[in-house]
Amino acid sequence: MMSTPTDMTSVVDQPLAQHARTAASVGERDAITGIFPPVTPDGRYIVARGRLWRRANPALGNARRTALIAELMGARSAVGAALRSQDSIALLAARGRVHAVKVALGDRGSVWWTDGAPDQNHRLARNTSYND
Q: What is the pLDDT of residue 25?
A: 39
DSSP letter at 125 equals: G
Q: What is the pLDDT along the chain (132 residues), one digit of tens a residue?
A: 333 444 444 444 444 334 333 333 344 555 555 667 888 888 899 888 889 999 999 999 999 999 999 999 999 999 999 999 999 999 999 999 999 999 999 999 999 999 999 999 889 988 888 886
Instruction: Give the distance from CA 25 to its chain's centroid.
Output: 16
Q: Cα separation of 43 and 113, whole Å?
A: 10
Q: Cα separation of 54 and 90, whole Å?
A: 27
Q: What is the pLDDT of residue 55?
A: 92
The radius of gyration computed from the CA coordinates of the chain, to the nearest angstrom, equals 16
Q: Cα separation of 59 and 123, whole Å?
A: 24
pTM as predicted: 0.69
Cβ(79)–Cβ(98) below 8 Å:
yes
